[in-house]
Amino acid sequence: MSLGPRKTPKQGRARATYDAILEAAAHIIAGQGLAAFNTNAVAERAGVSIGSLYQYFPNKDSLMAALIQRQQEAQLATLQAAAEMIGSEKTLEKVVRSLVRAAMQHHRENDLLASAIDHEEARLPVDALLSSYLEKAGAVVEVMLERFQHEIPSIMPKVAARTLPALVRSVTDAWANLRPPQLEKAEEEAVRAVLGYLRIGGE
Amino acid sequence: MSLGPRKTPKQGRARATYDAILEAAAHIIAGQGLAAFNTNAVAERAGVSIGSLYQYFPNKDSLMAALIQRQQEAQLATLQAAAEMIGSEKTLEKVVRSLVRAAMQHHRENDLLASAIDHEEARLPVDALLSSYLEKAGAVVEVMLERFQHEIPSIMPKVAARTLPALVRSVTDAWANLRPPQLEKAEEEAVRAVLGYLRIGGE
Amino acid sequence: MSLGPRKTPKQGRARATYDAILEAAAHIIAGQGLAAFNTNAVAERAGVSIGSLYQYFPNKDSLMAALIQRQQEAQLATLQAAAEMIGSEKTLEKVVRSLVRAAMQHHRENDLLASAIDHEEARLPVDALLSSYLEKAGAVVEVMLERFQHEIPSIMPKVAARTLPALVRSVTDAWANLRPPQLEKAEEEAVRAVLGYLRIGGE
Amino acid sequence: MSLGPRKTPKQGRARATYDAILEAAAHIIAGQGLAAFNTNAVAERAGVSIGSLYQYFPNKDSLMAALIQRQQEAQLATLQAAAEMIGSEKTLEKVVRSLVRAAMQHHRENDLLASAIDHEEARLPVDALLSSYLEKAGAVVEVMLERFQHEIPSIMPKVAARTLPALVRSVTDAWANLRPPQLEKAEEEAVRAVLGYLRIGGE
DNA sequence: AATGAATGAGAATTCATTCAT
DNA sequence: AATGAATGAATTCTCATTCAT
């Protein structure tokens, strides 16, 4: 079963349809979880016919694969935006805090989507996709951290790029899922964990 | 819709059937993911009729809930076993490494199951279950860390006890879910993250 | 894709369901052709739920395969009945005519079913089925012709046994599939072809 | 619903498109059977847009009808070619053998297509088409056989034109579908059947 | 004339659940 | 208690056809 998209639309109308479908899929999973993710619901939410969905995605799994790719691209974009915004920050801690805030926002709004993607990444043969993402994310993190090489000499950026998001996510989850959510505590703990992780190399 | 099991048999043949069903469910999710998890397949794999499955579980979600609880209990048991075995360890790092290994044991070849449970915990109303598990796991971790108060003075054990299990779990996931799984890397990174998190308080 | 039935029902209720489904499938194809043959229509006509149909047949093709087998068995039964009834016929021509009539009986009002089965036999991997049928039909024909060895000396019964059923079938089809079906013409032509084929050896 | 083509282009690019569509349809049915025959697949294989297909054929059935006609014309052409090539043959047997060879080649390569057309001829209202074809084929056969009138006095050419191809086809199938295919045997048996059929009138 | 995006009815198939035995 | 046949709503996916460009 092919996981690639059926056709990759170049022009206006088609591109809009393609995007609307992915957006709808993300919205449904984020709001109701994998169990509510079905192609009819996606098409309806996207405001297109079910036939149109299958013009672009040969099957449900290929839609999921495209969604995974889209999330990785979004993640990457967020990361790059953060990288640019904090270009002038002086201290590692402030850089890390910005990173954590960016990641937190992303994950808080997409709890179910993130875990769904985790699961589906493990189920579907999307290894190449994943590697490519890690490569790129690693490059961005590398740039962000290189100014602080003296503080964190032993970090390998590509490795850190995989560990850091997971770390932020789990610590965030642990505190944000409480009732009431303890968001400040979440941020503190996440910053603490990341800094600790980064600095330990210098021990 | 009730999530509790219809009846929780304590012994005998009924208990064996109940366990076989849960075992079958775990096996299917671990092998093929959430998408392949359906009651007919579970019953067949368990070697019981579909009718029998519904004798013990009023619906599919209750089966998932029981599976979550089962995994938590197994996790806890592993943790406690680890706690006992490392009672004599002298260094914090060795304790942490043992902890991480215990956590990872459940993810070896079970990445799909672990991520499925992650996802379903967020979807199903199993807060109480989750809190109770975190409470207990936290208590165990707390005891383990008590002896090293001098090394990690700024850590509040109860807070750490909540953050740590989540942290170990997610970092492990991040590396174990790759194909092929990078289990050694996972262990290194998890140990590094935990130690960093713990020690930073002393800066 | 498996072509075998999913389960072969042994007991009353299940057997009746299985048969009703095959009967309905035959009825629909015979009446409206392959284009009208769909699983929903078959289930409805059979008076069972669509789910029940899929309990017994894993997919549409397996239903078709079962139908092919059923038709072959019916054909064979008719042939054998004919063989018994004409045990006392004196002339070769009368024997041949009985044979032809037996073969034609299945095509009366079943032209669409017969041509559908022809087509599907060529499309589906049912070689084994077909060979087995030809073998059995051949054996019956062989017995029928044995008595006339002196009239058709150059015929090798085993060879004739393979050629004849095919010959009768196709000539019948050619004339019975017209609209309106020319059944008398079909019989004449089939008899003529068979007799001609058999006797030519003596030229 | 009209079965005639929307327009029957006589020349130029339009004619080429029209032919490409029919050719694609034939190719798909011959290769994968009626079940794989759909307008989108035909358009793609023909290298034209689905819109263009509907410029020439108002609906799917009209495409099938045109295909039936095309096959009849091809059959006729083959027949006529054979008729010319064997103009000088002296014996009936050699004429028949040439005919059989021509028919065999045609049918062996188009097994699925031939049976599909059989089925669709029975389903669609194409009686007029069929009659017209039989008329013409009958004329050709008549010419071929008239030199041998003394050998086969009772044959009606129009009748023979319908019976003969069916006869050749089925005998061919019966022997060519074996493993390994017995093509020489197929030819022998077909010639024998045809000669027998033709000569019996003289009995 | 041609294109191809879009449609949506409908066909194939699945699966949670019930219930008669 | 257990069975497994049966159900049918829900889901995936197809394909004939239309129509704006």
User: Is the CB of D135 inside 8 Å of chain C's CB atoms?
Assistant: no
CA of C72 to C1' of F5 (A): 28
Distance CA A158, CA A28 (A): 32
AA identity, residue C5: P
B197: closest CA of chain A, how far (Å): 4
- What's the residue count for chain C? 203
B158 contacts: CB under 8 Å, gap ≥ 6: B138, B142
**pLDDT surpasses 50 at C202:** no
CA of B48 to C1' of F11 (A): 26
Residue D108, Cβ density class (10 Å: 0-12 exposed, 13-18 middle, ≥19 buried): middle
CB pairs under 8 A between A and B: 116
Three-point CA angle B165, B170, B174, nearest 5°: 150
**Which candidate from D174, D199, D200 shows the least CB-CB separation from C163?**
D174
Distance CA B67, CA D79 (A): 72
pLDDT at B99: 81
Residue the block writes with tokens 């015979």: C30
Closest CA to C129 of C3, C10, C35, C38: C3
**pLDDT surpasses 70 at C68:** yes
Average pLDDT for D30-40: 95
Among A115, A131, A173, which would you mutate to test the B interface (most chain B Cβ atoms within 10 Å of its Cβ)? A115
Distance CA B20, CA B9 (A): 13
Q: Are C42 and C64 in contact (CB under 8 A)?
A: no
Residue D52, Cβ density class (10 Å: 0-12 exposed, 13-18 middle, ≥19 buried): middle
Distance CA D203, CA D192 (A): 16
pLDDT at B90: 77
pLDDT interval class at C177 (50, 70, 90) = low
Compare all CA atoms of chain D with the CA of C202 and give the residue at the minimum distance.
D196
The CA distances from residue C15 to B187, C4, C10, C19, C103, in Å, are: 58, 16, 6, 6, 28
B103: left (phi over 0), alpha (psi -120 to 50) or beta: alpha
- What's the residue count for chain A? 203
**Which candidate from C134, C163, C196 shows the least CB-CB separation from D197?**
C196
**Which candidate from B34, B192, B200 shows the least CB-CB separation from A34?**
B34
D188 contacts: CB under 8 Å, gap ≥ 6: none
Q: Nearest residue to nucleotide E14 when comparing alpha carbons to its C1'? A: C51
Q: Nearest residue to nucleotide F18 when comparing alpha carbons to its C1'? A: D51
Q: Are C165 and C141 in contact (CB under 8 A)?
A: yes
Task: Report chain D's C-alpha Rg in angstroms.
Answer: 19
Distance CA C174, CA A159 (A): 74
- What's the residue count for chain B? 203
pLDDT (tens digit per residue) in C93-124: 888 888 888 877 777 667 789 889 989 998 89
Residue A83, Cβ density class (10 Å: 0-12 exposed, 13-18 middle, ≥19 buried): middle
Compare all CA atoms of chain B with the CA of A186 and give the residue at the minimum distance.
B163
Residues 56-85 of D with CB under 7 A from strand F: 59-60
AA identity, residue B142: E
CA of D51 to C1' of F19 (A): 10
pLDDT at A137: 84
User: Is the CB of C119 inside 8 Å of chain D's CB atoms?
Assistant: yes
Q: Which residues of chain A have pLDDT under 50?
A: 202-203
Closest CA to B165 of B188, B199, B202, B131: B131
A22 contacts: CB under 8 Å, gap ≥ 6: A63, A66, A67, A70
Number of Cβ within 10 Å of residue D36's Cβ equals 13
**pLDDT surpasses 80 at D68:** yes
A90 contacts: CB under 8 Å, gap ≥ 6: none
Distance CA D124, CA D130 (A): 11
Q: Are C37 and C25 in contact (CB under 8 A)?
A: yes
User: Is the CB of B7 inside 8 Å of chain A's CB atoms?
Assistant: no
User: Is the CB of B156 inside 8 Å of chain A's CB atoms?
Assistant: no
AA identity, residue A141: V
pLDDT at A179: 58
Residue the block writes with tokens 């038709």: C71
Distance CA D126, CA D67 (A): 11
CA of D163 to C1' of E11 (A): 38
Distance CA D6, CA D4 (A): 6
pLDDT at B157: 56
Q: Domain B67-202, CATH 1.10.357.10 — does that match? A: yes
Percentage of residues of chain D with pLDDT beyond 70: 93
Closest CA to C166 of B70, D173, A159: D173
Nucleotides, chain E, CB distance < 7 Å: 1-20
CA of D141 to C1' of E17 (A): 66
Cβ-based contacts of D130 with chain C (< 8 Å): 178
pLDDT at C102: 80
Percentage of residues of chain C with pLDDT beyond 90: 30
User: What single-letter DSSP state applies at residue A49?
Assistant: -
| Domain edges within chain B | 67-202
D10: closest CA of chain C, how far (Å): 31
CA of A32 to C1' of E18 (A): 27
Q: Under CATH, to which class is C66-202 assigned?
A: mainly alpha
Q: Are D124 and D3 in contact (CB under 8 A)?
A: yes
A91 three-class SS: coil
Q: Do B193 and A167 touch (CB under 8 A)?
A: yes
Among C61, C117, C123, which would you mutate to test the D interface (most chain D Cβ atoms within 10 Å of its Cβ)? C123
The string of DSSP letters for C112-130 reads HHHHHHHHHHHHTT-HHHH
Cα first-last separation, chain A: 49
Which two structure tokens, joined as six digits, stand for B132? 């109770």
Among A3, A118, A187, which would you mutate to test the B interface (most chain B Cβ atoms within 10 Å of its Cβ)? A118
pLDDT (tens digit per residue) in D153-197: 777 777 787 788 788 878 887 777 666 777 888 888 889 888 888
Q: Which residues of chain B have pLDDT under 50?
A: 202-203
**Which candidate from A122, A169, A171 shows the least CB-CB separation from B115?**
A122
Q: Are B30 and B40 in contact (CB under 8 A)?
A: no
pLDDT (tens digit per residue) in B44-63: 999 999 999 999 999 999 99
Which positions 166-185 of B are in contact with A (Cβ < 8 Å)?
166-167, 169-171, 173-175, 177-179, 185
Mind spelling out the 3-state secondary structure of chain B? CCCCCCCCCCCHHHHHHHHHHHHHHHHHHHHHCHHHCCHHHHHHHHCCCHHHHHHHCCCHHHHHHHHHHHHHHHHHHHHHHHHHHCCCCCCHHHHHHHHHHHHHHCCCCCHHHHHHHHHHHHHCCCHHHHHHHHHHHHHHHHHHHHCCCCCCCCCCHHHHHHHHHHHHHHHHHHHHCCCCCCHHHHHHHHHHHHHHHHHHHHC
Residue C1, Cβ density class (10 Å: 0-12 exposed, 13-18 middle, ≥19 buried): exposed
D185 three-class SS: helix
Q: Nearest residue to nucleotide E4 when comparing alpha carbons to its C1'? A: D49
pLDDT (tens digit per residue) in C151-174: 887 777 677 777 887 787 778 777
pLDDT at D65: 96
pLDDT (tens digit per residue) in C43-64: 999 999 999 999 999 999 999 9
Q: Nearest residue to nucleotide E9 when comparing alpha carbons to its C1'? A: A51
Q: Nearest residue to nucleotide E1 when comparing alpha carbons to its C1'? A: D52
Residues 146-175 of B with CB under 7 A from strand F: none
Distance CA C91, CA C93 (A): 5
CA of D50 to C1' of E3 (A): 8
A11 contacts: CB under 8 Å, gap ≥ 6: none
Which positions 93-112 of A are in contact with B (Cβ < 8 Å)?
111-112
Residue the block writes with tokens 């790719």: A69
pLDDT at A203: 42
Cβ-based contacts of D165 with chain C (< 8 Å): 174
Which two structure tokens, joined as six digits, stand for C113? 């079913």
* Cis status of the peptide bond prior to C180, with omega within 30 of 0: yes
Q: Are A193 and B171 in contact (CB under 8 A)?
A: no
Whether chain C lies against chain B with 3 or more Cβ pairs closer than 8 A is no
Give me the half-sphere count of Cα atoms (radius 13 Å) on the Cβ side of residue C120: 25
User: Is the CB of A121 inside 8 Å of chain B's CB atoms?
Assistant: yes
Distance CA C103, CA C109 (A): 13
Helix or strand holding residue A77 (H, E): helix A60-85
Cβ-based contacts of B171 with chain A (< 8 Å): 163, 166-167, 170
> What letters, b where the CB count within 10 A reaches 16 and e where it falls short, cover B139-151?
bbbbebbeebeeb
pLDDT at D203: 42
Residue B77, Cβ density class (10 Å: 0-12 exposed, 13-18 middle, ≥19 buried): exposed
Which two structure tokens, joined as six digits, stand for D99? 């005919």
The string of DSSP letters for A105-138 reads HHHHTTHHHHHHHHHHHHHS--HHHHHHHHHHHH
pLDDT at D202: 45
Closest CA to A105 of A121, A129, A81: A81
B109: left (phi over 0), alpha (psi -120 to 50) or beta: left
C29 contacts: CB under 8 Å, gap ≥ 6: C36, C37, C67, C112, C113, C116
Among C38, C200, C203, which would you mutate to test the D interface (most chain D Cβ atoms within 10 Å of its Cβ)? C200
Distance CA C76, CA C136 (A): 8
Which two structure tokens, joined as six digits, stand for A193? 């964990």
Q: What are chain B's partners, defined as 3 or more CB pairs within 8 angstroms? A: A
